[in-house]
């Protein structure tokens, strides 16, 4: 009986050893979870920050941080730091402030972040480079999402015109509905205080709450290792499906005024790209390599700059080739050479060609639009002309010297106190309101000075440039459409830009 049982066990062991592929398929793989140096933490201030060296900084994480295929620091994580240094602004910015009546010695505050407090209370030591506040803020409320349009939309010219009209009406409604948020918002006192202080010729300096920062890590963060399965890696390093969109950050700064055709462009994925079934295609940290196809600087009379670039190749992280299995067990060591576990499948290619272009982009200095070809154009709101119209009315009021009408109203010819006050304020801010009371001519001069500056800045001056700083976020869409030949592409872009 014992001999029969021993025979059964021996057959079972031999059968298991004879099917090594089945064993290898069930064995997990491991990979280090490391956030490399240079990766940015996208943060926003939760409290107003005085521009004073050593001042404490409190911020929160705006987007999660990923390592390879998973999230390691969740959104909303509290991040602490301090103001490391304070530096004066450029001479041009200082001159513009003085021309506007602000004589404060303006400064920029640079910040270093030192600690991240995870939701469970665990603290992580951070080492970041000095970072300066970005020219963008986190909105009080996320934009309202409208219901999707019905599938049976009207077609033809009339139908499209009707849809366009509805879209414009909805945009105006959203704009009007957002106005009460300025009054009911949680930081309304800070908004009012900032507005009043900005009119003073000398005022304290702060960085407003909800201001954004991109803090680059100077040292990597280690989160141990993660376990993977071969099934989840079946598509690793393969060509993304047509229509897939990857969220990336630009490593190469771009500017439509300074960039030139042929300039190399590099970006890195901020988060992993998955296919259906949560199968990993491209891990976090994958590099996209591209080139600037066309750059056109902004022109006078507010003609915005344009920029077009795309990506042609993908570089996977080096750790993709280092995915390793757990250490062999005693059972696998005891097998002879003909029965050892089969080696892991061939590693994915670390570089391959692709076709990808922009579908959306974030620019800190201006509003940008991305068309279907991936071309980026700087745009400006038409509401800027309202300021010019208001400046015209104030200038006319400040120069009103109709003695007869003033005397009829019971005032002398040298009156018009309100007009001079408005004209002085338009020219040199709060300081100008006092100077405007010296004489009617001074008030009128300041009013027309303000009008001239408004006309120049809103009508005559150069338009906005397309500027992407380091770590600017872009959405990259993959396609199977072949790139045009250089001659065709140049002709197409020239026709679009002209």
Choice among 238-242, 252-256, 430-434, 450-454 with the minimum mean pLDDT: 430-434
Does residue 462 carry a pLDDT above 60? yes
This prediction has a pTM of: 0.69
| C-alpha span between 7 and 280 (Å, rounded) | 44
Contact 439, 448 (CB under 8 A): no
Does residue 328 carry a pLDDT above 70? no
The pLDDT value given to residue 456:
80
3-state secondary structure 362-398: CCCCCEEEECCCCEEEEECCCCHHHHHHHHHHHHHHH
| C-alpha span between 340 and 335 (Å, rounded) | 6
Does residue 457 carry a pLDDT above 90? no
Give the pair of three-digit tokens for residue 475.
């959405």
Q: Where exactly are the structural domains of the chain? A: 27-139+207-228, 384-460
Query: Within its chain, how far is the Cα of 109 from the centroid?
Result: 20
Mean pLDDT score of the chain, rounded to an integer? 75
Burial class (CB in 10 A: 0-12, 13-18, 19+), 457: middle
pLDDT of 283-315, one tens digit each? 999 999 999 999 999 888 888 899 999 999 999
Backbone phi, psi, residue 229, to 5°: -115, 150
The pLDDT value given to residue 103:
81
Half-sphere exposure of residue 212, counting CA atoms within 13 Å on the CB side? 19
Does residue 216 carry a pLDDT above 80? yes
**Residues 6 or more apart in contact with residue 348 via CB below 8 angstroms:** 236, 237, 238, 316, 320, 321
| CATH number for region 27-139+207-228 | 2.40.128.260
Give the orientation angle of helix 384-398 with respect to helix 440-455, to 10 degrees. 160
Direct distance between the N- and C-terminal alpha carbons of the chain, in angstroms, rounded to an integer: 93
Give the orientation angle of helix 188-198 with respect to helix 156-184, to 10 degrees. 90
Q: DSSP secondary-structure letter at 279?
A: E
Q: Which of 80-89, 91-100, 190-199, 329-338 has the highest mean pLDDT?
A: 80-89
Local confidence band at 461 (pLDDT 50, 70, 90 cut-offs): confident
**Residues 6 or more apart in contact with residue 337 via CB below 8 angstroms:** none
Q: State the greatest distance between any 2 C-alpha atoms of the chain, in Å, as a whole number.
A: 130
3-state secondary structure 323-373: CECCCCCHHHHHCCHHHCCCCCCCCCCCEEEEEEEEEEECCCCCEEEECCC
Local confidence band at 430 (pLDDT 50, 70, 90 cut-offs): low
Beta bridge partners of 70: 67
Q: Which of 61-65, 359-363, 408-412, 445-449 has the highest mean pLDDT?
A: 61-65
194-218 residues labelled b (16+ CB within 10 A) or e (exposed): eeeeeeeeebebbbebbbbbbbebe
| C-alpha span between 210 and 194 (Å, rounded) | 14
| C-alpha span between 184 and 341 (Å, rounded) | 67
């Amino acid at each position: 009986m014992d001999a029969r049982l021993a025979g059964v066990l021996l057959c079972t062991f031999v059968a298991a050893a004879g099917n090594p592929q089945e064993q290898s398929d069930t064995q997990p793989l491991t990979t280090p979870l490391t956030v490399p140096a240079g990766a940015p933490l996208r943060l926003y201030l939760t409290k107003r920050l005085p521009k004073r060296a050593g001042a404490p900084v409190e911020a929160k994480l705006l987007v999660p941080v990923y390592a390879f295929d998973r999230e390691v620091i969740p959104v909303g994580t509290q991040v602490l730091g301090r103001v490391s240094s304070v530096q004066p602004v450029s001479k041009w910015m200082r001159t513009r402030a003085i021309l506007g009546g602000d004589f404060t010695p303006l400064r920029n505050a640079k910040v270093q972040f030192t600690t991240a407090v995870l939701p469970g209370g665990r603290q992580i030591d951070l080492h970041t480079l000095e970072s300066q506040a970005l020219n963008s803020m986190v909105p009080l409320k996320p934009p309202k999402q409208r219901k999707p349009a019905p599938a049976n939309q009207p077609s033809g010219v009339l139908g499209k015109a009707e849809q366009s009209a509805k879209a414009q009406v909805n945009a105006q409604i959203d704009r009007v509905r957002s106005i009460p948020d300025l009054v009911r918002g949680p930081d309304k006192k800070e908004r009012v205080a900032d507005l009043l202080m900005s009119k003073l010729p000398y005022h304290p300096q702060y960085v407003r709450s909800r201001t954004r920062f991109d803090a680059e890590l100077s040292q990597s963060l280690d989160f141990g290792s993660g376990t993977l399965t071969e099934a989840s890696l079946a598509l690793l390093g393969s060509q993304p499906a047509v229509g897939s969109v990857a969220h990336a950050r630009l490593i190469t700064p771009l500017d439509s005024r300074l960039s030139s055709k042929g300039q190399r462009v590099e970006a890195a994925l901020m988060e992993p790209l998955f296919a259906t079934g949560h199968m990993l295609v491209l891990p976090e940290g994958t590099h996209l390599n591209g080139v600037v196809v066309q750059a056109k600087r902004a022109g006078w009379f507010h003609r915005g700059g344009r920029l077009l670039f795309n990506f042609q190749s993908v570089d996977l992280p080096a750790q993709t080739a280092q995915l390793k299995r757990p250490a062999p067990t005693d059972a696998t060591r005891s097998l002879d050479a003909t029965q050892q576990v089969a080696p892991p499948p061939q590693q994915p290619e670390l570089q391959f060609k692709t076709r990808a272009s922009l579908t959306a982009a974030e620019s800190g200095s201006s509003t940008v639009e991305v068309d279907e070809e991936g071309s980026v154009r700087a745009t400006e709101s038409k509401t800027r002309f309202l300021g010019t119209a208001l400046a015209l009315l104030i200038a006319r009021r400040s120069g009103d010297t109709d003695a007869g009408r003033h005397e009829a109203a019971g005032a002398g010819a040298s009156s018009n106190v309100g007009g001079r006050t408005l004209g002085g304020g338009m020219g040199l801010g709060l300081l100008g309101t006092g100077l405007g009371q010296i004489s009617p001519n001074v008030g009128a001069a300041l009013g027309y000075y303000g009008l001239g500056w408004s006309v120049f800045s809103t009508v005559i001056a150069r338009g906005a440039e397309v500027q992407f700083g380091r770590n600017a976020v872009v959405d990259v869409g993959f396609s199977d459409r072949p790139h045009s030949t250089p001659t065709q592409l140049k002709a197409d872009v020239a026709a679009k830009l002209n």
